[in-house]
Structure 1
């Protein structure tokens, strides 16, 4: 033990001695020259470069949409901009456009007369053609004109005509507007009246064929009223059309448009 202790102390003193000097690190140069590196770019890329850039996308700028005003499409006739009212309301259309000249600004088609194989007879005149509604409804004549000598009786609100073949017309016209007419190929059987019909003073109850139509066909009596005259002779002309007929009372010179090919229809005139 006496020999070991001095040995340990010698080892400890050796460890605490002066450290071995380290070689200093050389300082980095601060004034090293700068060199420019040059890279060669081939004008024609090789196969590897083409594959590398095949999926490259060019960056794009996101555009922000801008709102611009444009005319609103519409169907129909443009009536103009609206005008504000004094009370704050807004009218539906510009009332200033509704004047006597507005019709000339619109392209309104002119009705075209049909080309007919059989023409309407000139004896009916031309005034009836001014009624476009009735004229178009008539269409073209289907047979030549017929003239007959028959009978006539004038009523409060119309007239009745008789042809020797048995035909009877009861006509209650309303001018350019649609009135009414009834037609019977033969006089119907007059119904039995519960009591005699008495006409007011100055008027008459029709008899014979006129009386049968007047009392048997619904609507005739109420529409025509009582007779104002007795039956009298008349010369008349009648021409059938596709949609009705023209009827001329040659004694008075009056023309009626009868629209309808059945037992009743619309009556226009007289012209």
Structure 2
């Protein structure tokens, strides 16, 4: 993640590793106040404050594997100014040692606590991947039915699509509930997929299937356009794959019902 020139001028010297996709920032001038420090701690999904004599102990590899956007901030101790900056950090976190790790702007702890957190998230990610990909099986099975002479499975395909479309809207309701001061718009928009699914179920299946497919793509685009920065990178990729898979299955089931392409 790169920073703007203004941020670099205020906080110090920055370098960017194009392979690791992470910015390494050396704090070289005074942060004006505690608010500046808080802004720096929240300037990436994960921010690691470390000294010139400490390494990241494998945390950098865990972060890269996790797909998170992260930043390493080096805090030198060679001057009174730098020691004052570390004093501000110590007052903010209550920890007198480096490295110190912030996730989502919140202090997590040192390397051990951060590594444990990321490893636990890795297990959660694996579970989400498996459940998500298994969720494509009903799409594939019911989409194949009309091509095999079982046109009635198109109703099952549509019903399953409505359930999943409602579910992905509910994800954002849950994300909003987890925020300290969620914007009301997050709750309003999270019910849109369920309302769309309900309306689509009232349409003839020959019309409903392509509309449902378009709804999956439209909602994913909406996430990309308005919500994407708040979602982990791995989850964004998963959402894209699953949305495309659902839309393709719905479109395939619809094509099977058309007299000039399918079996109807």
Q: Which has the higher helix share?
A: 2
TM-score range, shorter chain: under 0.3
Q: TM-score with structure 1 length normalisation? A: 0.20
TM (norm. structure 2) is: 0.21
- Which structure: larger Rg? 1
- Which structure shows the higher strand fraction? 1
